[in-house]
């Protein structure tokens, strides 16, 4: 379970995230929505312990992100931006293995897990080929595997399908669903209403750093007299401008 408690981040005079408080359940696929600059990435970066909150905190699997960031890092898998830092000359396996070693995993344990995961995600044909030769979607899948090599309970993905084609995005969606089946908690940010409608158990819409609505897509649509989710989104972030 993840609990945000008055989570706040200021960059100078700009309040990027403004006292966010809500809970995300274990095994949930949770969407973070908002316009450009709403504070999604900043929220995810704080949860990932990459940024220190100005005030407030979050508890991830019983650990306070401000007090035990090292321990939190072991529980989370993170993906910020596509193709982030894959070594072109190394194979997919070597790229993933490197991360496993950083997480203090043993080589044989890493091998077993890569074999298992690459089979599950249909990557056997290219797992031992250099990452530099891969398409965007293939690279993205390597990044995903890298993010879960250490078996994290919680996954934090910032716009995971940004710039992917339809079939690669679908693979990522299937991947996220599989992670949920394995009992992981997934939080991701997105600008795609259809993606969020397809995948998320619940969503939070944030605007100018503040929470404006929280709930399942159906609950939110009902609350706004059955309008499309896209219309509700535009109305919410438009009204509070
Ligand atoms: N390192 C930083 N220094 C100063 N201001 C920042 C920094 N990072 C983010 N901001 C500001 O914080 C606010 C929230 O930015 P953030 O990147 O979290 O938004 P976002 O919802 O992820 O946007 P997008 O959808 O465009 O990625 C914006 O006003 C942004 O300019």
Residue 103, in any domain of the structure: no
122 within some domain: no
**Residue at 104 is within a domain:** no
Backbone torsions φ then ψ of 75, nearest 5 degrees: -95, -10
pLDDT of 82: 56
pLDDT at position 48 is 96
Q: Of the residues 7, 9, 16, 47, which should be mutated to test ligand 1's pocket, given the most ligand atoms within 8 Å of the CB?
A: 16
Domain with residue 210: its CATH number is: 3.40.50.300
ipTM rounded to 2 decimals: 0.97
pLDDT at 204: 96
Protein residue with least CA distance to atom 8, ligand 1: 42
C-alpha separations of 87 from 132, 146, 163, 213 in Å = 7, 12, 20, 40
Which domain range does residue 225 map to?
Answer: 2-81+134-239
Specify the pLDDT at position 146.
Answer: 92
pLDDT of residue 101: 94
CA pair distance 123, 93, nearest whole angstrom: 10
Residue 32 tokens read as 């973070």
Residue 184 lies in a domain: yes
Confirm whether 151 is domain-assigned. Answer: yes
Residue-level length of the chain = 241
129 found inside a domain: no
Alpha-carbon span 199 to 30, nearest angstrom: 8
In this structure, the residue with its CA closest to atom 26 of ligand 1 is 36
* pLDDT tens digit at each of 241 positions of the chain: 999 999 999 999 999 999 999 999 999 999 999 999 999 999 999 999 999 999 999 999 999 999 999 999 999 999 887 556 899 999 999 999 999 999 999 999 999 999 998 987 788 999 999 999 998 878 888 988 898 899 899 999 999 887 677 877 887 888 899 889 989 999 999 998 889 999 999 999 999 999 999 999 999 988 888 678 888 898 888 754 4
Whether 49 is covered by a domain: the verdict is yes
Closest-CA residue to 156 (of 49, 9, 69):
49
- Tell me, what's the pLDDT at 167? 78
Q: How many angstroms separate the alpha carbon of residue 236 from the centre of ligand 1?
A: 20
Structural domains of the chain, count: 1
State residue 70's pLDDT score. 93
Nearest CA to ligand 1 atom 16: 39
Using CB distances shorter than 6 Å, the residues near ligand 1 are 11, 14, 16, 34, 36-42
Of the residues 8, 35, 38, which should be mutated to test ligand 1's pocket, given the most ligand atoms within 8 Å of the CB? 38
Residue 74 included in any domain:
yes
């Amino acid at each position: 379970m993840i609990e945000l408690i008055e989570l706040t981040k200021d960059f100078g005079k700009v309040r990027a995230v403004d006292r966010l408080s809500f809970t995300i359940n274990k095994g949930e696929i949770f969407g973070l929505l908002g316009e450009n600059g709403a504070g999604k990435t900043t929220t995810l970066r704080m949860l990932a312990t990459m940024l220190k909150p100005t005030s407030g905190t979050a508890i991830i699997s019983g650990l306070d992100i401000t007090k035990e960031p090292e321990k939190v890092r072991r529980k989370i898998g993170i993906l910020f931006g596509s193709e982030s830092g894959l070594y072109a000359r190394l194979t997919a396996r070597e790229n993933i293995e490197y991360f496993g070693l950083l997480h203090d995993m043993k080589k044989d344990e890493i091998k077993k897990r890569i074999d298992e995961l690459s089979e599950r995600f249909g990557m056997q044909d290219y797992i031992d080929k250099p990452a530099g030769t891969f398409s965007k979607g293939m690279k993205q899948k390597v990044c995903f595997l890298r993010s879960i090599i250490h078996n994290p309970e919680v996954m934090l993905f910032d716009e995971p399908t940004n710039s992917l084609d339809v079939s690669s995005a679908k693979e990522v969606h299937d991947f996220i669903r599989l992670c949920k089946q394995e009992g992981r908690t997934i939080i991701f940010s997105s600008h795609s209403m259809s993606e969020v409608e397809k995948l998320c158990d619940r969503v939070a819409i944030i605007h100018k750093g503040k929470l404006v609505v929280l709930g399942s897509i159906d609950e939110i649509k009902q609350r706004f007299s059955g309008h499309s989710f896209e219309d509700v989104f535009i109305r919410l972030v438009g009204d509070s401008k």
